[in-house]
Amino acid sequence: MHGSAHDLLRRDCPGRLLLDHITAKWGILVLTALSDGPLRFHQVRDRVDGVSDKMLTQTLRTFAEDGLVDRTVLPTAPPSVTYALTDLGADATRELAPFLRWVRATASRT
């Protein structure tokens, strides 16, 4: 695949934008927080220690546009919103799991 449009090392690769979104500062953590099931905004924020409301909103919006996260508005008063991984988002978290195990193991050795 070297030299093709699908080579992630090339700036014109379509997958590069998705890679950038997932590996952004809060991306992997937000996906991981949603891996156990749908959550409301404040639940995601509470699970991802340190993320600001602004950054969480931006990350969730980007993931919804990328097709990784579904945003569902429930018809309550006031409306409540839940976020859940799509099939694509669930695939991403499964693929990230070995990497996250490596990170945890490495961090415990340092």
Range list of H helices, 4-84: 15-22, 27-33, 41-47, 53-66
- Tokens, residue 24: 């952004």
Taking only the tens of pLDDT, the chain with its 110 residues reads 455 556 888 888 888 999 999 999 999 999 999 999 999 999 999 999 999 999 999 999 999 999 999 999 989 898 899 999 999 999 999 999 999 999 999 998 87
